[in-house]
Amino acid sequence: MTKPVSIASENGQRDGPVPETAGAIRLPTEADAVFEDFVRSPHIYDRLFHAWLARLTIGLSPVSLMQAYFDWLSHLMSSPGKQSELLMKAARKATRLGLYTARCARGDTTPCIEPLPQDKRFVNPSWQHWPYNFLYQSFLLTQQWWHNATTEVSGVSRHHEEAVAFGARQWLDLFSPSNFLGTNPEVTQTTIEERGHNLIRGWNNFIEDWERVTGEKPPIGAEQFRVGEKVAITPGKVVFRNRLIELIQYRPTTKQVHKEPILIVPAWIMKYYILDLSPDNSLVKYLVDQGFSVFMISWKNPNENDRDLGMSDYRRRGVMAALEAICKVIPETQVHSVGYCLGGTLLTIAAAAMARDGDERLATMTHFAAQTDFTEAGELTLFIDDAQIAFLEDIMWEQGFLDAKQMAGTFQLLRSNDLIWSRVVHDYLMGKRKPMNDLMAWNADTTRLPYRMHSEYLRWLFLNNDLAAGRYTVDGRPISITDIRAPIFSVATTKDHVAPWRSVYKLHLLADTDVTFTLTSGGHNAGIVSEPGHPRRAFQITTRKESDRYIDPDTWQVSTPTQDGSWWPAWVNWLEQHSSGKIAVPKLGAPDRGCPPLEDAPGLYVFQK
């Protein structure tokens, strides 16, 4: 089906349907062809320029950043009251720093300002000695002043305010005293004790990392976790394949299985095997050991030939094709559906369309860190506006896809202290290496996103919030999450920068069915890969019946008791409660019904680079 999307077509229009061949151009080879193309579509050269510029800006739109900056600066310049307030705050902070310095001279090093709870840069006791205590205290006071300067300026749009505050924080973090040899007491002491050998090791680490990045090789140690050898080794068979997916059916380990099989829809922004890592933390292995038949979608890694695959293709050739194959392998039964991150959003779209059309094949629906309302989708929305999306569309138009490296820069900026600067200090100044683990190796095994799909996803979901607003159409007709009657189990994580838990919690406002909500410790990935026995794990869980009144997320968090350990057993117990008994172990595949076993898991698509 052709859908109206906001991808710039070659005639410059931005609304209306986009044909399947949208974005394809004939590269000019002669002067007359160049002139002819320019007369027809001069904006082609704008797009080429933007695509070139994106290589210098890690995919961030300079126009979007300038709009935010000038919005903030112009309103600040016309706000004398705010300016006076900032001058007074600067004077007070200078006085606080001066009094702190005087107290330090008397031996009292009690800080005048404490770092934020998530800021671990200055926790070492060596930061409390002169002159390092003065350096980090002045840095924190400066950071606080800039936060005051970039927020609560009357007239600035909320989006621009958040973008400017974020940009100021990133710029200040660049000059943190923790990042430099002479101003970081831990690095200085290590350098003295090791007579500079840490810096030699750090330089070698830097050169090694640089060679691997430029050579497009995985990071050091990732080769220890080869797919199909150390990770993704749960036995199974690929029982269905099309242009977009391979469907893996895993071999049960029990004498009987629950009647309803499980279909897992991972996000195509990641390789599926995050849910089948090493045997001791594989969710797939845990489920088959608990007596479930498990099916997993393994997405193809798209290239320039897949530029016109859209959201409808991912629904039809992904979720719906997998469901049809499962119903051939295990007929006459419903399915427990599971969606992770973007896969959970897609699963919700498919489930809402199925509910609208009377398709009752879903017994339950489970979300892992998946959003359905994008109005408060965290700091990632800082990079989502019309200017930024248009910039990304020009990048993808030239390539046919968005490369993982172009996405990685944005995600690293969201957690720059953890993912950039702490690594600079640890690997290059201290000269150490963190040991590679299976989750880190998986994180380096990146994928791409096709042009059309990613543009539709950003515009329809992130920018316009069409799914939550009831404007998202499937087969030409709107869908609504309120039509879904299958019970829902939703998992969110406390430290999620991709799908913040309060954003995930908004499902309570949209669903007219029983919702069991679980909030677990950890981040977007580590909180989900939370096997029993994992140290320092805890979770909160409640079930809201369809007839219950709404409870806001903050009240829910305060009033819900915390349980130690993994949330996996609680989820399995919930699945068992919504299953209808045991059956004999089904065969792998169904050759007589068009789903023959094609090859052993993990299949072919997971190896695509």
- 256-269 residue pLDDT tens: 999 999 999 999 98
Q: End-to-end alpha-carbon separation of the chain, Å?
A: 29
Q: Which residues are catalytic?
A: 341
Q: Where are the beta strands (DSSP E) in 467-514?
A: 473-474, 477-478, 488-493
pLDDT band of residue 406 (cuts 50, 70, 90) is: low
Would you state the torsion angle of the CA atoms of residues 448, 450, 454, 455, taken in this order, to the nearest 10 degrees? 140
Domains of the chain plus CATH, in order, are 31-58 (no CATH), 69-157 (no CATH), 236-373+470-604 (3.40.50.1820)
**CA-based nearest residue to 170, from 58, 93, 94:** 58
Task: Please name the residue that has the structure tokens 């799914």.
Answer: 467
Q: How confident is the model at residue 562, as a pLDDT?
A: 97
According to the per-residue pLDDT averaged within each range, which of 61-65, 254-258, 399-403, 452-456 is highest?
Answer: 254-258
Q: How confident is the model at residue 206, as a pLDDT?
A: 95
d(CA 191, CA 430): 8
Residue 243 has pLDDT above 90, yes or no: yes
Cα 122 to Cα 126, 139, 226, 373, 434: the distances in Å are: 9, 11, 37, 37, 20
pLDDT band of residue 50 (cuts 50, 70, 90) is: low
pLDDT band of residue 388 (cuts 50, 70, 90) is: confident
d(CA 229, CA 555): 46
Cα 200 to Cα 26, 81, 352: the distances in Å are: 51, 52, 58
Structural tokens at position 405: 């490296």
Say whether 17 sits in a helix, a strand or coil.
strand
Residue 197 has pLDDT above 60, yes or no: yes
pLDDT digits (tens, 9 = 90+) for 347-379: 999 999 999 999 999 999 999 999 999 998 877
Q: Please answer whether residues 235 and 601 qualify as being in contact, where contact means their C-beta atoms are separated by less than 8 angstroms.
A: yes
Mean pLDDT of 174-200: 96
The radius of gyration of the chain from alpha carbons, rounded to an integer in Å, stands at 26
What does pLDDT average to over the chain? 89
Structural tokens at position 323: 């469901």
Q: How confident is the model at residue 26, as a pLDDT?
A: 44
Tell how strand 245-250 and strand 294-299 pair up: antiparallel
Residue 32 has pLDDT above 80, yes or no: no
Per DSSP, helices labelled H in 244-402 are 283-289, 311-314, 321-329, 342-356, 386-399
Say whether 247 sits in a helix, a strand or coil.
strand
Element (H, E) at 423: helix 422-423
Phi, psi of 466 (to 5 degrees): -65, -35
pLDDT band of residue 398 (cuts 50, 70, 90) is: confident
Q: How confident is the model at residue 172, as a pLDDT?
A: 93
Q: Please answer whether residues 487 and 513 qualify as being in contact, where contact means their C-beta atoms are separated by less than 8 angstroms.
A: yes
73 vs 401 pLDDT, higher one? 73
Residue 390 has pLDDT above 70, yes or no: yes
Tell how strand 449-450 and strand 401-402 pair up: antiparallel
Residue 415 has pLDDT above 70, yes or no: no
**CA-based nearest residue to 104, from 95, 114, 112, 94:** 112
pLDDT band of residue 6 (cuts 50, 70, 90) is: very low
Longest Cα–Cα distance in the chain? 86
579-609 burial code (b ≥16 CB/10 A, e <16): beeeeeebebbbeeeebebbeebbbebbeee
Structural tokens at position 227: 């797919």
Q: How confident is the model at residue 573, as a pLDDT?
A: 98
Q: How confident is the model at residue 40, as a pLDDT?
A: 54
**CA-based nearest residue to 337, from 376, 302, 364:** 364
pLDDT band of residue 36 (cuts 50, 70, 90) is: low
**CA-based nearest residue to 456, from 402, 416, 407, 521:** 402
Percentage of residues in the chain having pLDDT higher than 70 = 89
Cα 507 to Cα 6, 382, 467, 502, 514: the distances in Å are: 26, 22, 11, 10, 11
Residues in the chain: 609
Residue 17 has pLDDT above 50, yes or no: no
Per DSSP, helices labelled H in 27-61 are 31-40, 43-54
Mean pLDDT of 549-555: 96
Say whether 336 sits in a helix, a strand or coil.
strand
- pTM score > 0.85 for this model? yes
Residue 271 has pLDDT above 50, yes or no: yes
Residue 410 has pLDDT above 70, yes or no: no
Structural tokens at position 470: 């009831």
Mean pLDDT of 290-304: 96
